[in-house]
Amino acid sequence: MFNKSLILGGLAVFVLLVTTPFWYGLLKAGPPPTPEPPPNGASVCVAPVEYMRSSHMKLLDVWRDEVIREAKRETIVVNDPKLGTLEFGKGLQLACMDCHSNKEQFCDSCHEYVSARPDCWTCHMTPAEIASKEAL
Ligand code: HEC
Ligand code: HEC
Ligand code: HEC
């Protein structure tokens, strides 16, 4: 005869082992990120915040193609209720990082949470890198 409790016990251990990555992921994920508000005090983004949250990577792709392939470098205008009319060059460093100047506390806080690793910073410089170059 089979030993029922041995089989069930073995089965339980098997299920636990197979689902380990899932449990580990749950434990590792921790609390959701809280991206830091722009240090310059701006209160609006270049597009509505819901759109930015879900689609900022698409917007960056569009900007990149427009600037590099079509030479469309128009100025980006943001009307901030407190800071007034803000103007930026169209670009990752020129616009995004001007407001979100702390990449580590903003971009990285989310990307680490979802394990996204955009390769942008192998070529583009972060504000911290620019500051350390200027200090030389
Ligand atoms: C292999 C190097 C390289 C990588 C990697 C790279 N870029 Fe660029 N990117 C460039 C160069 C060179 C330009 C042209 C700069 C110019 O002409 O002003 C540029 C321009 C851009 C522009 C338009 C103008 C500007 O200065 O921002 C955007 C937007 C942009 N890149 C976004 C991105 C994003 C987002 C990523 C990551 C997903 C990325 N890039 C990764 C090299 C790179
Ligand atoms: C004028 C300053 C400014 C510029 C330029 C700017 N942002 Fe923002 N961004 C903000 C502010 C302020 C918020 C938060 C808005 C809110 O909470 O209502 C925000 C929100 C966001 C969010 C959502 C964050 C969250 O908590 O869900 C993302 C993602 C984002 N921005 C990415 C970008 C990218 C990428 C660029 C460049 C294409 C950019 N931003 C340019 C000011 C700016
Ligand atoms: C509110 C959270 C949040 C913030 C803040 C945020 N991102 Fe993201 N980002 C994400 C998520 C989620 C993804 C999608 C990851 C995926 O699809 O695997 C992503 C993806 C991206 C991608 C595409 C990555 C790829 O490998 O294709 C780029 C480029 C990017 N983000 C740039 C930025 C930049 C630049 C900033 C800071 C200015 C920023 N993000 C801030 C949440 C955020």
Q: Is the CB of 38 under 6 A from ligand 3?
A: no
Confidence of residue 97 (pLDDT cuts 50, 70, 90): very high
Which amino acid is located at 9 in the chain? Answer: G
The number of the ligand 3 atom at minimal distance from the alpha carbon of 96 is 38
Residue-wise pLDDT tens digits, 30-69: 888 999 999 999 999 999 999 999 999 999 999 999 999 9
Distance 54 CA to ligand 3 centre (A): 9
Q: How far apart are CA 90 and CA 43, in angstroms?
A: 19
